[in-house]
Structure 1
Amino acid sequence: MTIWYEEAGTGEPVVLLASSAADAGMWDAQWEPLAERFRVIRLDYRGFGRTPNAADAPYSDAGDVADVLATLGVERAALVASSYGCRVALQLGAMATRLVLMNPGSDLPKTPDVLAFGEEEDRLLELGDAQGAAELNARTWLGPEADEATRQRVTEMQRHAFTMQLAADPEPSQFEPDFSLADVKAPALIVTGPYDLEHFRQSARHLATELPDARLLELDWAGHLPALERPQEVTRLLLDYL
């Protein structure tokens, strides 16, 4: 099993971990500017982008990321993550030099808006409607600053992922590694915005209080995927923080 990845630049390693509403392509706008100052690495999880949805044994996305970094000789890195990627980053927290967690989830109870989204997504996928489920994701996760081209791009990334995942036979078995927030010692910048679903806004505030060294940044224009909504502004934010 080969996990697709790429790297560029030299210097301190920076790993970009994508949302599960997209793939590594969500970082296209940040890729070259970050590579001018850092050794930047990104990858596609299994069943996303250019990585097949296959496994010979139970796996974890965090384990796959760790394996890629070991192949590259990277022991410590800054981890920049979006949405689901934040959970992967926290599972790898022991190796982080610093963290950027953009609209993370948490183990807090799911709010009604998240539950309603999940029910509708499941309904569409049970019908085999990958396009409809992808369009639902783009509507839900992108805030008002996203333009039509970005909405189409997210729809395409998500539809491709759903198509691979629906076709998997047998479906790969995935497990979630245990981790403790108290063990994540790296400084963390936690990003949230008013146009995200309530569970994620609550989770950002929760993590900002639970992580040992965290700062909360509220972007008054942001939805769930600010790196796609205002890419140049997020690039500047990352360069300044890292």
Structure 2
Amino acid sequence: MTLSHDLRGDGPALVLLHSAVCDRRMWDPQTPALLEAGYRVVRCDFRGYGDSPVADRPYSDAADVCDLLDHLGLERVALAGSSHGGEVALEVAAIRPDAVSALVLLCSAMPGHVPGPELRKFTECKRALLAADDIAGAVELSVETWLGPEAGAEARERVREMQGHAFQVQAAGEFASVGVEVDLAQVAAPCLTVSGAHDLADFREIAAGMPERVVGARHMELPWAGHFPGLEKPAAVTELLLDFLRATYPVG
């Protein structure tokens, strides 16, 4: 199946990949400025998120994204991914290094990462709430876990809406994405990896260690951010994205 997606604008293609909490709407705050800057912006919903249905068989988010690129005829792209979307971006960039010209990872997960105590505790609590059919409680757990102290009411409501929708859709599914085994040394694109000082230790450590795994990767920590800086301080992340893209993947 082809992932639900939207494509707007002209110029170099930029594919935005969402987290495992949100859907493609998490990029709403950044999209207008990216279009105005001259990028052709592609946003998609992974299976079980947004407008994409749950899977009826085993699948891979990375393979789905590669299929979408082929469907749209995109031979060269930049990828920006948040959390799980960053993990998928890394997989795609390792599988198709010649197709990815730039890579931005916002509080990214990583292929093969073994969860630490904080992430395991969150997952166990979430599963217990969902098993008890307490979707509202699981949504609030996500809001409190993933948003930093400077996130406002609008950011919290956005996460509530997207996470709640995902839980409702995924309740009808039995398959989860299977990660792709990749060699991150194959990633050839310039890479900016961003962490939030208020995020879980897993994601801070992944970001800080990325320069050791991806040649030329640069790490930046945002002292004010939790796990979703693009929702917490949208303008700051928009500027960060545009600065990096203009230097590594310019328009024209």
TM value normalised by structure 1: 0.95
Q: Which runs of 5+ in 2 are unaligned?
A: 246-252
When residues 81 and 173 of structure 1 are mapped into structure 2, their CA distance, relative to the original with a 3 A threshold, is closer
Equivalent position of 2:240 in the other structure: 237
Equivalent position of 1:119 in the other structure: 124
Residue 42 of structure 1: CA displacement? 0.4
Match of 2:212 among 185, 209, 212: 209
The one-letter amino acid paired with 1:144 is P
Tell me the alpha carbon deviations over residues 130-182 of structure 1, each in whole angstroms, 9 at most, x when there is no partner.
221111111101111211121111011001101111123xx235322221110
Give me the whole-angstrom Cα distance separating, in 1, the residues matched to 2:58 and 2:177: 5
The one-letter amino acid paired with 1:208 is P
Residue 114 of structure 1: CA displacement? 1.2
* Contact 1:15 1:77 survives alignment (8 Å): yes
Give me the whole-angstrom Cα distance separating, in 2, the residues matched to 1:200 and 1:115: 13
Give me the whole-angstrom Cα distance separating, in 1, the residues matched to 2:2 and 2:40: 21
SS in 1 for 2:231: helix
Q: Which runs of 5+ in 1 are unaligned?
A: none
Match of 1:186 among 169, 173, 189: 189
Equivalent position of 2:223 in the other structure: 220
Is 2:105 the counterpart of 1:101? yes
Equivalent position of 1:162 in the other structure: 167
Is 2:158 the counterpart of 1:153? yes
Residue 205 of structure 1: CA displacement? 1.1
The one-letter amino acid paired with 1:134 is V
Tell me the alpha carbon deviations over residues 105-142 of structure 1, each in whole angstroms, 9 at most, x when there is no partner.
23444222111111100100111222211111111011
The one-letter amino acid paired with 2:130 is L
Equivalent position of 2:42 in the other structure: 41
Give me the whole-angstrom Cα distance separating, in 1, the residues matched to 2:58 and 2:114: 26
Give me the whole-angstrom Cα distance separating, in 2, the residues matched to 1:173 and 1:217: 31
Equivalent position of 1:91 in the other structure: 91
Give me the whole-angstrom Cα distance separating, in 2, the residues matched to 1:229 and 1:151: 9
Is 2:173 the counterpart of 1:177? no
* Contact 1:128 1:166 survives alignment (8 Å): no
Give me the whole-angstrom Cα distance separating, in 1, the residues matched to 2:44 and 2:240: 21
Give me the whole-angstrom Cα distance separating, in 1, the residues matched to 2:21 and 2:176: 20
Give me the whole-angstrom Cα distance separating, in 2, the residues matched to 1:227 and 1:141: 12
SS in 1 for 2:171: helix
SS in 1 for 2:81: strand
Tell me the alpha carbon deviations over residues 174-222 of structure 1, each in whole angstroms, 9 at most, x when there is no partner.
3222211100011100001210001111111111221111001111111
Give me the whole-angstrom Cα distance separating, in 1, the residues matched to 2:72 and 2:2: 14
* Contact 2:2 2:68 survives alignment (8 Å): no
When residues 222 and 173 of structure 1 are mapped into structure 2, their CA distance, relative to the original with a 3 A threshold, is closer
Q: Aligned residue pairs: how many?
A: 239
Give me the whole-angstrom Cα distance separating, in 2, the residues matched to 1:43 and 1:225: 18
When residues 109 and 3 of structure 1 are mapped into structure 2, their CA distance, relative to the original with a 3 A threshold, is closer
RMSD: 1.3
The one-letter amino acid paired with 2:25 is G
Residue 2 of structure 1: CA displacement? 4.1
Q: Percent of aligned positions with the same letter in both sequences? A: 46
Moved over 4 A (4+): none
Give me the whole-angstrom Cα distance separating, in 2, the residues matched to 1:82 and 1:174: 16
Match of 1:134 among 132, 135, 139: 139
